[in-house]
Amino acid sequence: MDGFGFKGYKSFKKYVEIEEVEKINVFIGRNNSGKSSCIDIVENLTSAQVLASNKFLKEGLDLQVIHELSEQQVQYVFQENTYGGGIPGRSHYEFGKNYIGKKMRFSVSTERHGIGHSVETFKYEYIPDESVFEKQYNSFWENFARRGVNYWEDCEFRRLDAERNIVAEIESNEEDVNVNGEGASNLIRKIINYSEYDEKLVQEKLLNALNSIIYPDAKFEDIKIQQISSGENSKWEIYLQEDGKRYALSKMGSGLKTIILVLINLLIIPKLKKQYNKKFVFAFEELENNLHPALQRRLFEFIYDYAIKNDVIIFLTTHSHVAINTFCDKYGTQIFHVEKKNGISTMHKINDYISKTALLDDLDVRASDILQSNGIIWVEGPSDRIYIKHWLEILGSGEIEEGRDYQFLYYGGRLLSHYTTEKECNDLINILLTNRNAAIVIDSDRRNPRARINDTKKRIQNEFKKYDAFCWVTKGKEIENYIEKTAIEKTFDKKMSAQCERFELFPDYIKPVCKTFNKVEFARKVVDNIEKETARGMLDLEKQITSLDKAIKKWNEK
């Protein structure tokens, strides 16, 4: 989707840009860093009237749209079966189709039309980029600008400020909710009480969504609206019913009100406005205020699912590290770090490990504050990670992701003897201090059914069992003994005489097709050919992966 860039607005003295907008776009940084200014710019792009009233437009605001040319637009400017006009030897469209998908930049301003009841409209001017769009064809490039290329102009912008509340309200005919939450009680009153509205919007759709976010902390049975005073200035109050008792929303926590205001914007407002020719763009500021991290996570997950399913654009401002965990690796999301130094704000996209750690430093988030990941699977080495990650994908629930829900750490074979889960053991490294949610996978290294695992592995197994943590000691000799021969045959295009035995030495087994056995290289080659139906029958693999999947999901329920 179209991107944008700007400079000369408040503390943004230097040009910053978002080259392409995603479904979820997060501005994260300290208080007063300039996050809300980025939301202001989006609002300016969606309304010529808002932009025209912006004092910074007169003071040198440089606002740009970054637009990717579509085939339809190219056909309109470079029509088929037309020649000449500075393009010798071929039709205009044949020439123009080379620019489908290219990004053009246009400056955005406003101009007034009409006398008396005049209106403000957007004005676009092509910004020359001779490295892509040749100067001699500027008349064509400017034609794109004259046609209007701002995707944002066709959007309905909705905003919820950081300062917000839901209170009892005097009866009004208004059918909207302001950026601070004003109007929410009146809107709920009209939907529940007036026959022209469908009360299921509130008492089913909104209520079910609310419970999906706040459960298991609470579960409400109904949403009601009641008159709490009479006379000319009678007021109406929203009530939530739980266990048969009614509770006035105005007297409940601000975090709960925030969730309800988000749901009103997402679930109710679009149904009432019925602007089918427009897409909605939502901007929510600092939703984490007065919300427990677990509620933040569930609210952010709801917002993400809504954006993907309903094809809308959502902008968030936050200084919560929960947002980083939720959005940093999801499809259709991006995070921008907004910083302010010496009175000047800058913005850049978070797209690598260094930028993520710099962001955490800026927010003053320590590793001990967030434990870095929701849980750790300890494995002997990188080849184990390759297999286990794949098995979780094909045999697990499909609901967990590496980096978001869990992470791998390597203990390196014999180094296992230096680890423990016991808090009072000073001469060993405590696994649970690294992360309180831990699982471990250990090769049994047994050569026959009567053999026992060594004392170190037995100690670790007992310690994990003591803390009700997941410990998987392989049923066969090592992790490779779970690999089915069909996967090996597909990888090397050679037939194996038999399946690797439970206690067989895998390097010896694999020699007929792989004379030089490197565990990591082999794992990378064979893993894509490991299939669900054959893998699930290997020893206790399905049982162990199912248990590990459940353990990881339990880590992330809180």
Amino acid residing at 207: L
Q: Is the peptide bond between 216 and the residue preceding it cis, with omega within 30 degrees of 0? A: yes
Whole-number Å distance between alpha carbons of 136 and 494: 60
pLDDT at 372 over 90: no
**pLDDT tens-digit readout, 99-138:** 898 999 999 999 888 776 778 889 899 899 888 888 888 8
**Region 292-297 average pLDDT:** 86
526: number of Cβ within 10 Å: 23
* Token digits of residue 382: 């990188």
pLDDT at 371: 44
pLDDT at 307 over 90: yes
**pLDDT tens-digit readout, 61-94:** 999 999 998 888 888 888 877 776 677 767 888 8
Lowest mean pLDDT across 160-169, 365-374, 412-421, 528-537: 365-374
Spell out the long-range contacts of 356-359 with Cβ–Cβ below 8 A and sequence spacing 24 or more: 356/324, 356/328, 359/28, 359/324, 359/335
Amino acid residing at 557: E
**pLDDT tens-digit readout, 29-57:** 988 999 999 999 999 999 999 999 998 88
Give the model's confidence band at 374: pLDDT under 50 very low, under 70 low, under 90 confident, else very high: confident
Lowest mean pLDDT across 49-63, 255-269, 300-314: 49-63
- Order of strands, sheet of 155-160, starting from the edge strand that comes earlier in the sequence: 155-160, 279-285, 313-318, 24-28, 333-341, 344-349
Backbone torsion region of residue 93, taken as left when φ is above 0, otherwise alpha when ψ lies between -120 and 50, otherwise beta: alpha
Is the separation of the CB atoms in 179 and 163 below 8 Å?
Answer: no
pLDDT at 276 over 80: no
Instruction: Look at 158 and 144; give whichever has higher pLDDT.
Output: 158
Is the separation of the CB atoms in 217 and 253 below 8 Å?
Answer: no
Whole-number Å distance between alpha carbons of 420 and 296: 33
Q: How many CA atoms lie within 13 Å of 550's alpha carbon, on the beta-carbon side? A: 10
Whole-number Å distance between alpha carbons of 35 and 225: 35
Is the separation of the CB atoms in 36 and 42 below 8 Å?
Answer: no
pLDDT at 154: 83
pLDDT at 185 over 70: yes
* Token digits of residue 363: 């927010």
**pLDDT tens-digit readout, 426-482:** 555 565 556 678 899 999 999 998 898 888 889 888 888 888 889 999 999 999 999
Distances (CA, A) of 558 to 210, 215, 251, 326: 17, 11, 26, 14
Share of the chain above pLDDT 90, in %: 51
CA angle 269, 274, 275 (to 5 degrees): 105
CA angle 164, 167, 171 (to 5 degrees): 125
Q: Which residue has the tokens 């996050």?
A: 35
- Largest Cα–Cα distance in the chain? 97
pLDDT at 250 over 60: yes
**Region 213-239 average pLDDT:** 89
pLDDT at 94: 85
pLDDT at 92: 87
Distances (CA, A) of 254 to 162, 221, 282, 283: 11, 20, 20, 19
**pLDDT tens-digit readout, 405-433:** 888 887 775 666 656 656 555 555 565 55
Handedness of CA 497, 501, 505, 506 (dihedral sign): positive
Tell me the pairing of strands 407-410 and 313-318. unpaired
**Region 527-541 average pLDDT:** 93
**pLDDT tens-digit readout, 147-171:** 777 778 888 999 999 999 999 999 8
* Token digits of residue 462: 């007992």
Share of the chain above pLDDT 70, in %: 91
Give the model's confidence band at 370: pLDDT under 50 very low, under 70 low, under 90 confident, else very high: very low
pLDDT at 297: 87
Q: Which residue has the tokens 């101009």?
A: 111
Is the separation of the CB atoms in 21 and 70 below 8 Å?
Answer: no
pLDDT at 269: 92
Following DSSP, what letter does each residue of 95-153 receive, concatenated?
A: HHGGGTT-EEEEEEEEEEESSSS-EEEEEEEE---TTTS-GGGHHHHHHHHHH---GGG
Backbone torsion region of residue 311, taken as left when φ is above 0, otherwise alpha when ψ lies between -120 and 50, otherwise beta: left
